[in-house]
Every structure is written in C-alpha cells, then in structure tokens.
C-alpha cells in the first residue's frame, strides 16, 4: 500500500499546477540580482602591510575573545549571519528621529519600528501606522487587524470584504477605513481598540481618507468623485462643491487648522481655510500625491506621456487665499507614492534600476533636503508596485 | 552533451557565471514553487515564497557547503519561508491556519482523491510527505530541512501514510 502511495504522491506532485512563466522570469531576475559579486584575487603592493594588519587583528581578536570569555564584551567569530534578503526589499531603515516606517509593496507589508516591531512580507490589502508608530492597522483577508508593538494581534474586526484603505486619526483614537462590499466601497470608522465600528458612507472611492488635525473630522471621496468632510462632532457631511474639486484623486488635511488640499487629475485646490483656493493646473500631467510640510503644500506631479517635462515635486505657500509656488524639486525618476506627516516628506521614486524610498528630515524643507542625496530607506526591485509608504 | 551537476553549477555561479545560475534556477524552480504551493495552498503566496527562497539561496551561495546536495538546502529555505509566512498570518489573523484556497481537489486535475487526502493532512504531516515523495528527499534530509530528529520525521511520515490510507478507503467506499 505504501509503495502505491509513493508512486501516486510523486505523480500527484508532478501534476500540480506550475508557476506562471512570467513569475518564473521575474523570480530569475531577482535571484540573479541577489548573487554576490565574485571576489577576484589581486596581488597588492601593500600585501605585507595587509599581512601585518591581519596579524594585528588576530591579536586583537584573541584579546576580544578573552574579554568575551570574561563576560565583558559580546563578540562573535566565524562567518557572519546570513544576509536578510527578501523578495523585494533589500533595505528597511527607520530614519533618524522617526518611530517607524511602513510600506505596502506588491500587496505585502514591510514594516520596521524603533520599538523593535518588524514585519517582512505580510500579505495585506492595506496598512497604516498609528501616530508614533505604536500600532499598525492592516487589512488581512476580510478583516481589519491591529498589530501591537510586540508583533501580536491586538484585535481583529471582521469586514464585509477586503480593506482597501486605512487612515489612523492623529489622536490615535479612531481609524477610518474603506472596505469593499457588494457593488462598491464603504467608509467605516472604528475606535482604536477595535470597538464601535460605524458605517459612515455606503458609496465612496478608494482614496485614502484624511483626518483633520483635531481628529474630529475626516475627509474622503464620494463615489461620484466629490470630496466630502464628515464631522464626527455634529455627525454631518459637508460636500466640497467647487467644480475644481471634481474627480478628486488625493486628499490631505493640513497639520494644523482646517485647510484641506484636494488633488484632482490635473491640479489641486485648497478648501476650508476661508474661500476655496484654486491652486493651479498641470495639464496634461497627473497629480500623483498631495501633502503638507508645515504650512506648505506639497504636490507630486507625474507627467503624462505627452509631456516632455520630467516628474517634479512642487511646493506652494498659502497667502491670503492664493497658492504661491515656492519651487520645484526634480526627483531622479517617476514618483510612485508620497506621504507627509506634517513635518516630514516620504516619497517613492522609481527608475529602470529600481525603486527607492526617501524621507526628508523634519527640519529641512524639501528643497534643502535634495532627495537624491538622502540615504534610501528602502530599495526595491524594478517593476515593484508600491501601494503606500509612510514614516511616522 | 552531459548535463552539469549541481555542484558544478554552484561553483560556476559563485565565480559569477550567470548562465550557470540560470540553469540551476530552472532546474529547481518548478519543484520549489510546487513545494511552496503545497505548503501555503495559494498560488500568490507560492509565487512569492519560491522567488524569495531563490533570492535568499543565491545571496547566500558563498556560505553553502557544496559538498552537500543543493536541492535539500534550497527546499529547506522554501519550506521555512512558507512556514514563516503561514505562522505570521495565523498569529495575526486567527488561530487556525488559513484555508489552502487554490489547492482544492475540484480545481486541479490529476488524482483528486489523493489530493483531497493530502490537503486534509495537517501541515506537520503534509510537509514531510511532500518533501519525501514529491521532492524525493530522504528522511535524514527532511530532518535537516525541518530541524527535527530523524525519528520524528519517520514517525510523522508513518502517521501521514496511515491517515492517507484511511482516507483512500473512505473515499473509495463513498465512490462505491
């Protein structure tokens, strides 16, 4: 009987589905990229010095070993631990002064926090860091899950479908999330401990909701493409009626006050700070992201194929109802994702050699920061699709 | 022309021969992918696990002892990566392992009765069975792959085969 099972299992294994050809080619490319650079033997005129250095290092190593044996120093000998390579992320670094970084790459969450929480390649549908990066909320299967600083599930809330976007309120007490349901997407708000889930709107677009600085209002895009501000205190909705705001693609409340920046296909406007301010248009370019650094509006603009101009990040200052251009930064390649926490800009740029994530320091303006000169927080394989990235 | 051995390909790859690396990859890609597929039960996860395993293996090739066979070492990385992924999902989503949604008998051709029985095996038993009869590892190699004593592997294989035999009998009885 066992012999028969041997044969049948072997046959079954050979009859299982195969990986797609494209998947295989992509995997091969990634595997080849991971190969270590072959070391060539070179004879250097400084060989004698090197030998002496090695001898000195050996003596030092012996001394270190003695200290280690005495418990005074932690030291390890032999081969280094295996390099932690992953399918897509070759580097993941929390920038100085930040608490954590999270990126959703090809439907997987990569996350590191300064408190030691680390997730590598967790399949998610969306994710968002809480303020100060203490917790992370993620869409896993048909549930909204909060992950605690120790890496364990803090709570899980079943949803009607996959979670498409998540936004944590600045005070950490509520989470707005968009979930796929029958016939469309719905906006919910749930408390930060997973209690009191509430349906806010039955027909919305999958644009990341944005919280007002006081955490008492959240902006989202209705199914028709119009921005809406939902006030939790009054349980009321205010529709942004300006024609310039139709077909909104991105929303961002200012880090202070009530100003809301609305990006559309070809431009942006600011509302909530007195009269709506039309920021300008970039036709035929596409606004890929919008955010705030202090009182400056940050706009990431990607050119349409018809344009010769490269992608750029445009800064504006609001002055008495006018959006005054402050300057441009030309990143080295196409912008995939942009996020701001009011003080820091995190941006993902891609070119043929790969994708990199940069973050400015809180004190620096984008212009001074010179993104290409900053160390990359993440390095991703070419062709990777970045869903979202955030530093908190 | 005689086919190059794994050891030869590994050594050439270490010296920077990307063609040799590609041959090595193609020799084991489908096997690695199917192993990941049987463990995770989902095509998308198998894509990532297998690709990730090859990336890790190639990155660590300088540390691989080429006196040992390459395939068990690679499949160990595949199995460990797949298990890590399932553990993190189980820890975060619920206490039960996720359903192997793409590995259902009614979706795949071949021996459906056997596939149903294999899918019903716990991961603890399914993985040794696949490594033994699908990949062709010896119990000793499986033990090294899963960091288990050889006796435990033999015990799990025996219990798995027993369970499979019972499942066959039940399946055949239902069919009759």
Query: Cβ of A26 and B51 within 8 Å?
Result: yes
pLDDT at position A196, please? 92
Contact A315, A367 (CB under 8 A): yes
- In this structure, is residue A10 part of a structural domain? no
Kindly report the nearest CA distance between residue A28 and chain B, in angstroms: 7
From chain B, pick out residues whose CB is under 8 angstroms from the CB of A143.
93
Non-local (6+) Cβ contacts of A226 within 8 A are A239, A240, A241, A245, A246, A248
Segments making up each domain of chain B, as ranges: 1-103, 104-176
- In this structure, is residue A223 part of a structural domain? yes
Q: Higher model confidence: residue B90 or residue A292?
A: A292
- In this structure, is residue A222 part of a structural domain? yes
**Architecture of domain B1-103 in this structure:** Orthogonal Bundle (1.10)
- In this structure, is residue A323 part of a structural domain? no
Query: Cβ of A16 and B37 within 8 Å?
Result: yes
**Which among A7-16, A52-61, A94-103, A329-338 has the top mean pLDDT?**
A94-103
In tens, the pLDDT along A167-177 reads: 999 999 999 99
In tens, the pLDDT along A191-230 reads: 998 999 999 999 999 999 999 999 999 999 999 999 999 9
- In this structure, is residue A177 part of a structural domain? yes
Query: Cβ of A122 and B135 within 8 Å?
Result: no
pLDDT band at A122 (very low <50, low <70, confident <90, very high): confident
Contact B155, B128 (CB under 8 A): no
From chain B, pick out residues whose CB is under 8 angstroms from the CB of A36.
14, 59, 61-62
Q: Higher model confidence: residue B88 or residue B129?
A: B129
Determine contact: B61 vs chain A, CB below 8 A: yes
pLDDT at position A305, please? 43
Mutate to test the interface with A, among B92, B103, B116, B129 (most CBs of A within 10 A): B92
Mean pLDDT of A321-334: 70
**Per-chain mean pLDDT for chain B:** 80
Q: Could you list the residue range(s) of the whole structural domain that residue A159 is in?
A: 124-239
In tens, the pLDDT along A337-385 reads: 788 887 788 888 777 777 878 787 776 666 555 665 677 787 777 777 7
pLDDT at position A168, please? 94
Query: Cβ of A143 and B93 within 8 Å?
Result: yes
pLDDT at position A40, please? 47
pLDDT band at A75 (very low <50, low <70, confident <90, very high): very low
pLDDT band at B79 (very low <50, low <70, confident <90, very high): confident
pLDDT at position A52, please? 44
Quote the crossing angle between the two packed helices B150-175 and B112-120, to the nearest 10°.
130
Query: Cβ of B46 and A82 within 8 Å?
Result: no
Query: Cβ of A147 and B92 within 8 Å?
Result: yes
pLDDT band at B176 (very low <50, low <70, confident <90, very high): low
Beta bridge pairs of residue A334: A350
Is residue B151 predicted with pLDDT exceeding 90? Answer: yes
Q: Give the pTM.
A: 0.58
- In this structure, is residue A358 part of a structural domain? no
Considering only the beta carbons, identify the residue of B54, B111, B164 that sits closest to A31: B54
Mean pLDDT of A139-149: 89
- In this structure, is residue A260 part of a structural domain? no
Q: CA–CA separation, B1 vs A306, rounded Å?
A: 52
In tens, the pLDDT along A152-169 reads: 888 999 998 899 999 999
Query: Cβ of A36 and B164 within 8 Å?
Result: no
Q: What's A196's domain CATH number? A: 2.130.10.10
Please determine, looking at this structure, whether the domain spanning B104-176 carries the CATH number 1.10.10.10.
Answer: yes
- In this structure, is residue A165 part of a structural domain? yes
pLDDT at position A353, please? 72
Contact B143, B97 (CB under 8 A): no
pLDDT band at A38 (very low <50, low <70, confident <90, very high): low
Is residue A47 predicted with pLDDT exceeding 80? Answer: no
Of A131-140, A317-326, A351-360, B97-106, the poorest mean pLDDT is in B97-106
**Count of the separate structural domains present in chain A:** 1
Q: Is A240 left (phi over 0), alpha (psi -120 to 50) or beta?
A: beta
Mean pLDDT of A306-316: 64
In tens, the pLDDT along B23-63 reads: 999 999 998 999 898 888 888 788 888 988 898 899 888 88
């Amino acid at each position: 009987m066992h012999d028969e099972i041997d044969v049948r299992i072997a046959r079954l294994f050979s009859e299982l589905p195969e990986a797609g050809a494209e998947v295989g080619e992509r995997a091969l490319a990634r595997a080849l990229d991971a190969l270590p650079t072959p070391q060539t033997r070179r004879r250097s005129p400084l060989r004698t010095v090197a030998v002496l250095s090695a001898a000195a290092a050996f003596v030092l190593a012996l001394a270190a070993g003695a200290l280690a044996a005495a418990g005074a120093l932690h030291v390890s000998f032999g081969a280094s631990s295996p390099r932690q390579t992953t399918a897509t992320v070759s580097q993941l670094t929390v920038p100085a002064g930040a608490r954590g970084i999270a990126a959703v790459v090809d439907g997987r969450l990569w996350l590191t926090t300064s408190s030691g929480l680390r997730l590598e390649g967790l399949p998610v549908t969306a994710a968002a860091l809480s303020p100060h990066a203490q917790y992370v909320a993620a869409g896993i299967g048909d549930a909204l899950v909060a992950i605690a600083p120790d890496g364990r599930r803090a709570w899980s809330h079943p949803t009607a479908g996959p979670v498409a976007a998540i936004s944590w309120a600045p005070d950490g007490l509520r989470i707005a999330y968009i979930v796929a349901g029958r016939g469309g997407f719905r906006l919910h708000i749930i408390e930060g401990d997973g209690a009191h889930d509430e349906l806010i709107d039955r027909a919305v677009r999958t644009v990341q909701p944005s919280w007002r600085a006081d955490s008492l209002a959240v902006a989202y895009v209705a199914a028709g493409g119009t921005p809406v501000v939902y006030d939790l205190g009054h349980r009321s909705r205010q529709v942004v009626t300006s024609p310039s705001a139709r077909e909104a693609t991105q929303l961002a409340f200012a880090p202070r006050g009530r100003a809301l920046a609305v990006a559309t296909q070809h431009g942006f406007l600011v509302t909530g700070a007195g009269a709506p301010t039309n920021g300008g248009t970039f036709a035929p370019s596409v606004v890929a992201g919008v955010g705030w650094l202090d009182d400056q509006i940050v706009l990431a603009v990607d050119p349409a194929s018809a344009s010769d101009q490269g992608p750029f990040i445009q800064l504006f200052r609001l002055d008495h109802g006018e959006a005054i251009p402050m300057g441009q930064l030309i990143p080295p390649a196409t912008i995939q994702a942009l996020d701001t926490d009011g003080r820091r800009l995190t941006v993902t740029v891609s070119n043929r050699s790969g994708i990199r994530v940069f973050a400015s320091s809180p004190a620096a303006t984008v212009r001074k920061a010179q993104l290409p000169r900053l160390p990359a927080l993440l390095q991703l394989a070419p062709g990777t699709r970045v869903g979202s990235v955030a530093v908190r | 022309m005689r086919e190059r051995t794994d050891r030869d390909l590994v050594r050439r790859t270490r010296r920077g021969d990307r063609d040799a690396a590609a041959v090595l990859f193609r020799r084991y890609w489908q096997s690695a992918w199917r192993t990941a597929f049987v463990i995770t039960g989902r095509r998308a996860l198998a894509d990532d696990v297998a690709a990730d395993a090859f990336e890790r293996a190639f990155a660590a090739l300088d540390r691989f002892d080429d006196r040992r066979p390459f395939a068990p070492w690679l499949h160990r990385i595949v199995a460990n990566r797949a298990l890590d992924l399932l553990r993190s999902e189980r820890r975060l989503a619920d206490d039960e392992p996720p359903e192997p949604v793409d590995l259902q008998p009614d979706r795949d051709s071949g021996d459906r009765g056997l596939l149903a029985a294999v899918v019903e095996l716990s991961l603890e038993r399914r993985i040794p069975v696949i490594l033994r009869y699908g990949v062709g590892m010896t119990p000793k190699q499986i033990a090294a792959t899963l960091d288990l004593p050889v006796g435990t592997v033999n015990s799990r294989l025996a219990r798995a085969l027993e369970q499979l035999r019972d499942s066959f009998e039940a399946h055949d009885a239902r069919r009759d």
